[in-house]
Amino acid sequence: MTQILAGDTGGTKTLLKLVEAGPGASQTGLTFNVLYSERFTSREFDDLVPLVRRFLANAEGAIGSKPNPQKACFSIAGPVVNNTCDVTNLSWILSADRLQHDLSIDRISLINDFAAVGHGIEALEPGDILTLQEGIHDANAPIAVIGAGTGLGQGFVIRQGSHYQVFGTEGGHADFAPRSEMEFALLKYLRDKHELSRISVERVVSGMGITAIYQFLRDRQCSVESPEIAQAIRTWEQEAGKSEKSVDPGAVIGKAAAEKRDLLCEETMEFFVAAYGAEAGNLALKLLPYGGLYIAGGVAAKNLEIMKSGIFLRAMCDKGRMRPLMERVPVHLILNEQVGLLGAALIAARL
């Protein structure tokens, strides 16, 4: 058994796992034994090195022996080029060479967070996914991955013989494409509010997008704002710039919508899920992922009922003459929110 370190680093949180890896009878050919895991708030650290050192010190206290990972892989929310990354929503600039030197780990790989999700799909169990559309599966066709969380990740997987090659992308930073008068109005609202010449789809289809849509509908007086949600939004706005906020407005809005106790929140989530489905359809048009389109990210997993309601699939398949192609795409929602860590562990074990 080889000791490895797997990490999943985003703008909000970093998850780390110390794992023993060895050959096994699973579909990946590997078996993993988790020795210790921990969650950190990313912005509490000015770099990944002190965060990992804190983790290893805590792990030593928990397992009673000094950790000695020989290999590591970190999935990073940002573009990774030549094993280096300027992390999109943090002021971290990472390189594998520097991390190997500073952490005294023999081999380290950095991969895009959605490339990690792509690898992690290989290790998912049947209970880790919820199928929204059966479609017509083709094992030799591409697999697409999309996921809204702090930002909007997109990636794809291509079969290469008996193996798969995974590609991360920055598709979440493509232009937001309005489809209705309300979405055109949202585009103008966001451009004016943020004084921007363009709006990326990530500003609409993400956790921050849920809040932006809510504020837009509230300001248009589409429905009456409740005191409870108003207070949550005010608290969040007052905490702007803080590394740790006491309120996640996207989660508050999603919960109120799911419980059907706030009409404005329900309208927000319907608007959001339709935009999410439309962007998933845009990705599907470009790849024709008959190997499956997988929805990752915490937002979908935390809002299962509305994701299953049909709003997502209707918007995804609403592509005019291309509707029959969209209806052939198998669509799966990933329930295991640590799929990126699974992917990072697989990469580390195979280094």
State what percent of residues in the chain have pLDDT above 90: 74
pLDDT of residue 16: 96
Q: Using 50, 70 and 90 to split pLDDT, how confident is the model at 201?
A: very high
Whether the per-residue pLDDT at 103 is higher than 80: the answer is yes
Mean predicted lDDT score pLDDT of the chain: 92
Mean of pLDDT values over 318-338: 96
- Give the residue with greater pLDDT, 317 vs 149: 317
Q: What are phi and psi of 149, to 5 degrees?
A: -150, -125
Neighbouring CB atoms inside 10 A of 285's CB total 15
Whether the per-residue pLDDT at 28 is higher than 80: the answer is no
pLDDT of residue 242: 65
- Check if the beta carbon of residue 207 is closer than 8 Å to that of residue 148: yes
| Chain segment 259-294, per-residue pLDDT in tens | 999 999 999 999 999 999 999 999 999 999 999 999
Q: Select from 118, 65, 60 the least CA-distant residue to 340.
A: 118
Beta-strand ranges (E) seen in the chain are: 2-9, 13-23, 30-41, 71-76, 80-81, 84-86, 93-95, 107-112, 129-133, 143-148, 152-160, 163-169, 293-296, 331-334
Mean of pLDDT values over 55-82: 93
| Chain segment 208-254, per-residue pLDDT in tens | 999 999 999 999 988 889 999 999 999 988 877 665 677 889 999 99
Q: Using 50, 70 and 90 to split pLDDT, how confident is the model at 115?
A: confident
**Both tokens of residue 84?**
């280096």
Whether the per-residue pLDDT at 344 is higher than 80: the answer is yes
Number of H helices, E strands in the chain: 13, 14
CA–CA gap between residue 95 and residue 86 (Å, rounded) = 9
Mean of pLDDT values over 2-31: 84
| Chain segment 293-321, per-residue pLDDT in tens | 999 988 999 999 999 999 999 999 999 99
pTM, entire model = 0.87
Task: Fill in the DSSP letter of residue 135.
Answer: -
Q: Using 50, 70 and 90 to split pLDDT, how confident is the model at 27?
A: low
Q: Using 50, 70 and 90 to split pLDDT, how confident is the model at 134?
A: very high
pLDDT of residue 125: 86
- In the chain the domains, ranked by start, together with CATH numbers, are 2-125+338-350 (3.30.420.40), 171-334 (3.40.367.20)
pLDDT of residue 26: 66
CA–CA gap between residue 24 and residue 60 (Å, rounded) = 26
Mean of pLDDT values over 333-348: 92
Q: What are phi and psi of 88, to 5 degrees?
A: -60, -50
pLDDT of residue 43: 86
* Residue 94, beta-bridge partner list: 85
pLDDT of residue 152: 92
Angle at which helix 181-194 crosses helix 207-219, to 10 degrees, equals 100
Task: Fill in the DSSP letter of residue 320.
Answer: G
